[in-house]
Structure 1
Amino acid sequence: MAIDSSPSLVYGLLLLLLSAFFALSQSLYDTGDPPLTLDYYAKTCPNVLQVVRKEMECAVLSDPRNAAFAVRLHFHDCFVQGCDGSILLDDTITLQGEKKASTNIHSLKGFRMMDRIKNSLESECPGIVSCADILTIAARDAVILVGGPYWEVPLGRKDSTTASYELANQNIPSANEGLLSIISKFLYQGLSVTDMVALSGAHTIGMARCKNFRERIYGDFEATLDANNPISKMYIEKLRSICPPIGKDAEKNITGMDNVTPEVFDNSYFQMLMRGEGVLNSDQELYSSLLGMETRALVKKYAVDPLAFFQQFSDSMVKLGNITNSDSFLSGEVRKNCRFINT
């Protein structure tokens, strides 16, 4: 009897195995974390949302890129130990933080922005609002301020007293990663393939460094483009002028991950992928990978239906924010300074 080894069957079997494995892992480690609530600060700090929103308005007005910085900080925080503010901890003699991990060291900014929000909240209601909750609220407000959707933010997280440099390198997807590897990292966090594609849509804002897209533009970029589209040809020439094939100095050069509306949260990112113009390999894999039947269908859906994208992004951001650190509920704290544990 012949065995069907088509990419669709292989993909389906691999995805089924990955899903089963991570579902089992989640059930084994489910500790019944205390639920997050929408009114957690109703009595202790009733103005928390207004304070964060005001600070984010100032930050995004001064530099629209701050919106992307806030979303990225929240994402990188939640993928390591859960959403516990560990990403904000500085290195000390006794603690190695996550900021200098290979996936973070050149891609994360906005730490001073979070410091300002924390200082404002410490003046308003000292010792009440956790840095983990600040990251979650700030990410939501950042998206709204550049045209994206609104969602309710459950609150009540505690700040961890630990960080994990190793997990930061291990858990966070990298720019040149393949599709199955990225899917496995999302499944590990309890996030589905649909969540992965929707959350990747956050790349409709923000910038990428030459170091992270050099391999793509001198690799298979031309293979994914429409060879008959002169605009696409001009685009790759522009990217190569920003990022020459060699030279460490150029590695710091940046370009928008969405070349149409880089400062607006919309669905043009998905339209770019359909044209084969994804800047990062990990982005273009969603549409061009031979194993990407499900992800390709979702890219097409969100490219033509912005409301569907906005709704799924909102739902997926709530799921992301609900990845909790069970240890932080037992031994966590509300940091006075987001960069250091309390003494």
Structure 2
Amino acid sequence: MKVMASTSMPPATVEALLDLLEGSGGGVQVLDPPDHVRAAWRRILHVLRSDGHIPDGWHLVQRGRNSGDLVLQLRPGEHPSKRYQPAAANTKVTVAEDLVKAHPAVHQLRNQPQRLPASDLNRSRALLLLQTIADKITAGGHTVQCGSQTTLLVVAAELSSIGIRVWEETGKRWALRLTLAVDGPGKQSTTWNDYATQPLEDQLAEILATIREGIRSEEAHRQAAKQAEQKRKELARDRQITEHRAEFLRDQVERWVLAQDIRDHCSQLVDAGMNLGASWLRWANKYADSIDPLSDPPGTPADPQPEVQAVRNAPTPVSNVESPGYTEVRPWHPNRRWYHR
């Protein structure tokens, strides 16, 4: 590699530059050139690349385009950056010259010429374009139907549909230009027009890509709506179960507190002078045992049915206890009033 001073200007011609690179073993290094020298090298390199002067089977590597040392190398083979570029695909969609085995929707339109462009040429073109669209879309597993009014074809989506319109128009710079519009989903609309160098047939790949993107957008929207609905149902179900268990838990606590209060009250009655074997005390203690959840600790309650909200069950006393009442003479107590007799 030949090392050159920072003030070294590039050769005046591309041929001289190639001779310089070849004579220096394929490489040249200019030591940190000033801006005007670097710009001069960029200009000659631009001519070298843009006019196709790089020999076949070689590529040019440049470093230091804007700062630092300027290094140029002519190397054999393909440029490394091209290894990562995908091969160009032929995206042009072929449109049949004749309408053979027409799709049912297109066949229906063929029998409704008043909905199609008026000129014979554009009417035929419109049918062939619509047939190609119908074939490509149905091949992807989607449904195509005949539309109504100005919408000629309808691509059925899950939540809405995509409409396709075709018409001809005349302007100051064209006559009977064919126009195609894809409507939806939603209110969006994309339009393509005939051009002198690019008729609608040459834009069909882009048209199909737009339709497929609309289908994917609808499917994504449907999936998102489905997931949101499922999430809503799960949250509602969790709330229902939580409310049901909370009611069950509150009922347990209330029963436990009431049982404790009844037992405390019975103890106070005994302290006040009531006979420990009194039937009222026996019934009260038995009732406390019947409602106390600690007497037979329950497990987690069964979840309610999804359609049925949890309903709180009131405490149910045992059926074989004595009826509450005062069946024997109570001992005198200073807090007793005349209406207790």
Q: TM-score range by the shorter chain?
A: under 0.3
TM-score (norm 1): 0.19
Larger Rg: 2
Going by fraction, where is strand more abundant, 1 or 2? Answer: 2
Larger RCO of the pair (alpha carbons < 8 Å, separation 6+): 1
TM-score (norm 2): 0.19
